């Protein structure tokens, strides 16, 4: 019985073994690829949301002084800043503290400042700070307006 297990494999058995190993390697590669794509896709959505925050903040700055028709812009900004995609990305990347700081800055500084500003210069620095993110150096690119 043991003699059969240790005897050389026939050509057909060798080919079958090679095909099975190749299949296993292919399936494992596809599984790893799928796992990587999921992570990258989540990050891509978060990057799009972050870019959208920047665009929306400059759009709000250009609309200063804000009136009732601009409430839609404020609501859109709020929805983006507190979006589930950003929250999931922050949790995945250990950036919850930074996202919370950004959201707090929006609620406590930028949103009220935009609503009460009489001209864009009054809140331009606040918008720039929001776009740069918490803890960023002060020498960031200034917005065009």
Residue 115 has pLDDT above 60, yes or no: yes
Domains of the chain plus CATH, in order, are 33-132 (1.20.120.960)
The pLDDT of residue 22: 97
Average pLDDT over residues 119-144: 70
3-class SS of residue 83: coil
How do residues 42-101 score in pLDDT, each as one tens digit?
677 778 888 899 999 999 999 999 999 999 999 999 999 999 888 888 888 888 999 999
**pLDDT value of residue 38:** 78
The model's pLDDT over 94-103, given as tens digits with 9 standing for 90+, comes to 889 999 999 9
CB atoms < 10 A from the CB of 22, how many? 10
Orientation of helix 71-81 relative to helix 11-63, angle to 10°:
150
- Rounded to the nearest integer, the mean pLDDT of the chain is 85
Please state the length of the chain. 145
Instruction: Tell me what pLDDT residue 58 has.
Output: 92
């Amino acid at each position: 019985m043991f003699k059969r297990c240790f005897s050389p494999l026939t050509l057909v058995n060798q080919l079958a073994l090679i095909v099975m190993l190749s299949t296993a390697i292919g399936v494992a590669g596809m599984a790893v690829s799928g796992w990587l794509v999921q992570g990258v896709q989540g990050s891509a959505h978060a990057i799009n949301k972050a870019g959208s925050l920047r665009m929306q903040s400059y759009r709000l700055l250009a609309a200063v002084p804000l009136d009732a028709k601009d409430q839609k812009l404020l609501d859109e900004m709020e929805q983006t800043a507190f979006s589930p995609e950003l929250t999931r990305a922050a949790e995945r990347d250990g950036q919850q503290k930074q996202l919370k700081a950004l959201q707090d800055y929006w609620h406590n500084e930028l949103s009220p400042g935009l609503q009460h500003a009489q001209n864009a210069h009054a809140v331009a620095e606040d918008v720039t700070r929001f776009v740069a993110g918490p803890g960023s150096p002060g020498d960031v690119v200034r917005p065009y307006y």
